[in-house]
């Protein structure tokens, strides 16, 4: 049982029940938010997370139970698609959230400070704002109100990385209570100290933050699976499916992890070699290895005030088949312009961009404009009629293909306009992956996706044999998908770094100048010339090297054993026929899974250690 908070709740639901038609969203739910709690709310798309937040905000009435608000407590709620009044100056709307005590003037300086951090032009009106701009305005109003409780539904959607990092700092210093829905694992891991999980009508609470969620969810579902397996095969199979989806992040196929690390090493070697920017046309034609070649490109735009906005200055890069490039930078720095230049949709002012022979690109736009709201899911994937879709040249029934992207059979005839934002993202991904292509261009694909769907997308991208250019502000997603990062730093500065976002951020921190400080006092001891310097470690110990060689085989054997045990336990008659065998298999499955987790973690630690030592030797 999770520990309850010692602080009294600021807002709470008690014995809450809510239905949507015949479907129970949650029942007998107890949810509290107290001062100092930073709670993450997780669950699959459509499970009721946003509705639960609305109940806490007092915007949706419960069927049963009660909502409690501590007298005098102020609650600020940020929905996914915040409605704004029409024709109001943005600054006035944000300032309307300011709070002041009797006899005091509201702290209006907060309005300008927060709008500056969120990149909001206060002189505009609320008319004609995009979804992302509306979200930033609503977030600014919520933050300046200095509430006791913040209820935030996907606050990082459409924010750039500097703004997300600023928001992290703001929320980390917030003294009240926070309940947060987000697909961004990094912000959840850094901020949360409690977790609510809404799953099939039940709201569970854990007294740890999101970092502990995969292990906790795994244990909850494994226990439930063992109990339900002998009662109902259908429920057990669904539970196992859920369990595999929820823990996919931690139990990814180790071969795929090794492949990504190998691709990053290969990218690093290619970036070291001189002369690659002028790769010959013939090389591309022979094997189709060249996807994009950018030679010394520059781009700038004239501004209305007579100035100039520089996007790129003398930037060169090579994208080869199989590369996975992450494009990062602040909003307005020029990521979209650079992307369009790389794929040939916009010409540079200087230099040249060449797209390789036989490159077929598909584009995932973050606004999902490629989808027709009046079409059904079925007709979206089969616009010419019929029930068959060809994926990588192989026929597949449209309903079966929809299941691959977590849609239910009943949704096949539903209209696109009735889908949630996350479901539309999944449908667009399904449509794009079915089209013939070898270059996948993804612009913010993670917006509105739940954690489970992010796992699915990572798996699909891990198996993708083509080239990927990915624009994203999701740091964890970048770490798990890309082989290199192209950072658009502003003022024409663009640089490429090998690895994921964490590698890029670490290199950036190393390059930052140290703050000026008072000169250090001379050490009273003489310089350590007489002392023998400690010898730097240059290679793995024999024991670690041996473990690194053995662990992949161990992991493979455990995976095979776990699959066999799961198949055996799927037999609905096993418990009745042989209860002892059922218990032994269940116990061994739990033990084998723990052994697999430990082996995977150890392998990743050793592989990272080996890579760091190799880098140290090379430098």
Any binding-site annotation on 44? Answer: yes
Q: What is the DSSP letter of 2?
A: P
Q: Which residues of 271-297 are buried (b: 16+ CB within 10 A; e: fewer)?
A: eeeeeeeebeeeebeeeeebbbbbbeb
Is 335 annotated as ligand-binding? yes
Give CA angle at 183 (113, 23), nearest 5°.
Answer: 120
Is 384 known to sit in a ligand binding site? no
The torsion angles phi and psi of 375, rounded to 5 degrees, stand at -80, 160
- Is residue 189 annotated as involved in ligand binding? no
Q: Is 615 known to sit in a ligand binding site?
A: no
Q: Is 332 annotated as a binding residue?
A: yes
Close Cβ partners of 332 (under 8 Å, ≥ 6 residues apart): 119
| Of 230, 240, 225, the residue nearest 573 (C-alpha) | 230
Which residues does 21 contact at the CB level (< 8 Å), separation at least 6?
A: none
If you ran DSSP here, which 8-state letter would residue 359 be given? -
Q: Report how far residue 473's alpha carbon sits from residue 447's, in angstroms, rounded to the nearest whole number.
A: 9
Is 230 annotated as belonging to a binding site? no
Q: Is the dihedral of CA 280, 281, 282, 283 positive or negative?
A: positive
Q: Is 48 annotated as a binding residue?
A: yes
Q: Which two tokens stand for residue 40?
A: 């993450």
Give Cα separations from 471 to 225, 365, 369, 371, 434 (angstroms). 38, 10, 17, 20, 21
Burial zone of 247 (CB within 10 Å; 0-12 exposed, 13-18 middle, 19+ buried): buried
The DSSP output letter for 117 is H
Q: What are phi and psi of 23, to 5 degrees?
A: -95, 130
Nearest in space to 11 (alpha carbons), one of 194, 151, 180, 138: 151
Tell the burial category of 136 from Cβ atoms under 10 Å away from its Cβ (0-12, 13-18, 19+). buried
Q: Per the annotation, does 312 bind a ligand?
A: no
Q: Was 612 annotated as part of a binding site?
A: no
Closest residue by Cα to residue 451 from 210, 177, 207: 210
Tell me if residue 201 falls in helix, strand or coil: strand
122 annotated to bind ligand:
no
Please indicate if the annotation marks 536 as binding a ligand.
Answer: no
User: Residue 204 in contact with residue 196, Cβ under 8 Å?
Assistant: yes
Sheet holding 484-490, edge to edge: 361-364, 439-443, 467-471, 324-329, 484-490, 493-498
Dihedrals phi, psi of 226, to nearest 5 degrees: -60, -35
Distance CA 187, CA 393 (A): 40
At residue 68's C-alpha, the angle toward residues 67 and 73, to 5°, is 130
Rounded Cα gap, residues 424 and 441, in angstroms: 17
Residues 6+ positions from 414 with CB-CB distance below 8 Å: 376, 377
Residue 239 labelled as part of a binding site: no
The owner of tokens 């854990």 is 206
* Measured CA distances, 512 to 196, 339, 505 (Å): 39, 27, 11
Judge whether 136 is annotated as a binding position.
no
CA distance 75 to 151: 7
Known binding positions: 43-50, 329-336
Q: Which residues are annotated as a binding site for ATP?
A: 43-50, 329-336
């Amino acid at each position: 049982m999770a520990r309850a908070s010692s602080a009294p709740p600021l807002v709470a639901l008690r014995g809450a029940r809510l239905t949507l038609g015949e479907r129970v969203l949650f029942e007998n739910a107890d949810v509290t938010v107290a001062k100092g709690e930073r709670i993450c709310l997780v669950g699959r798309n459509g499970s009721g997370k946003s509705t639960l937040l609305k109940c806490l905000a007092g915007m949706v009435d419960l069927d049963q139970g009660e909502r409690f608000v501590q007298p005098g407590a102020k609650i600020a709620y940020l929905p996914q698609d915040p409605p704004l009044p029409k024709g109001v100056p943005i600054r006035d709307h944000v300032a309307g959230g300011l709070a002041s005590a009797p006899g005091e003037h509201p702290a209006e300086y907060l309005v300008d400070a927060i709008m500056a951090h969120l990149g909001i032009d206060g002189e505009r009106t609320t008319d004609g704002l995009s979804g992302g701009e509306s979200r930033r305005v609503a977030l600014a109003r919520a933050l300046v109100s200095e509430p006791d409780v913040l209820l935030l539904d996907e606050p990082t959607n459409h924010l750039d990385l500097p703004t997300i990092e600023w928001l992290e700092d703001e929320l980390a210093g917030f003294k009240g209570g926070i309940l947060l829905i987000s697909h961004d694992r990094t912000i959840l891991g850094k901020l949360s100290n409690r977790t609510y999980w809404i799953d099939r009508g039940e709201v569970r609470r854990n007294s740890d933050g999101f970092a502990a969620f995969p292990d906790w969810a795994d244990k909850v579902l494994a226990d439930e699976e063992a109990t339900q397996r002998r009662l109902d095969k259908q429920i057990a199979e669904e539970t196992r499916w859920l369990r595999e989806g929820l823990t996919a992040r931690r139990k990814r196929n180790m071969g795929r992890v090794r492949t990504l690390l190998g691709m990053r090493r290969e990218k690093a070697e290619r970036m070291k070699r001189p002369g690659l920017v002028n790769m010959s046309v013939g090389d591309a034609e022979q094997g189709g290895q060249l996807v994009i070649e950018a030679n010394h490109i520059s781009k700038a735009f004239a501004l209305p005030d007579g100035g100039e906005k520089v996007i790129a200055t003398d930037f060169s890069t090579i994208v080869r088949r199989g590369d996975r490039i992450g494009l990062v930078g602040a909003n307005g720095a020029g990521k979209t312009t650079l992307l369009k230049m790389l794929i040939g949709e916009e010409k540079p002012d200087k230099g040249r961009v060449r797209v390789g022979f036989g490159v077929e690109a598909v584009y995932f736009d973050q606004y999902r404009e490629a989808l027709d709201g009046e079409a059904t899911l079925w007709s979206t994937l089969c616009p010419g009629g019929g029930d068959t879709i060809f994926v990588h040249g192989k026929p597949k029934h449209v309903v079966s293909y929809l299941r691959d992207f977590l849609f239910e059979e009943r949704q096949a005839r539903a209209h696109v306009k009735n889908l949630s934002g996350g479901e539309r993202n999944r449908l667009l991904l399904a449509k794009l992956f079915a089209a013939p292509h070898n270059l996948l261009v993804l612009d913010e694909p993670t917006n509105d996706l739940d954690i489970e769907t992010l796992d699915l997308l990572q798996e699909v991208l891990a198996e993708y044999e083509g080239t990927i250019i990915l624009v994203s502000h999701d740091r964890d997603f970048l770490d798990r998908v890309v082989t290199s990062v192209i950072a658009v730093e502003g003022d024409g500065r663009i640089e490429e770094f090998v690895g994921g976002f964490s590698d890029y951020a670490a290199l950036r921190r190393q390059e930052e100048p140290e703050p000026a400080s008072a000169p250090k006092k001379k050490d009273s001891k003489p310089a350590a010339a007489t002392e023998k310097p400690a010898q730097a470690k240059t290679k793995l110990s024999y024991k670690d090297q041996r473990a690194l060689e053995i662990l992949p085989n161990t992991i493979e054997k455990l995976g095979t054993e776990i699959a066999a045990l799961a198949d055996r336990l799927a037999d609905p008659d096993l418990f009745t026929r042989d209860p002892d065998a059922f218990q032994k298999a269940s116990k061994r499955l739990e033990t084998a899974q723990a052994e697999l987790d430990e082996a995977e973690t150890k392998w990743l630690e050793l592989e990272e250690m080996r890579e760091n030592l190799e880098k140290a030797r090379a430098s």
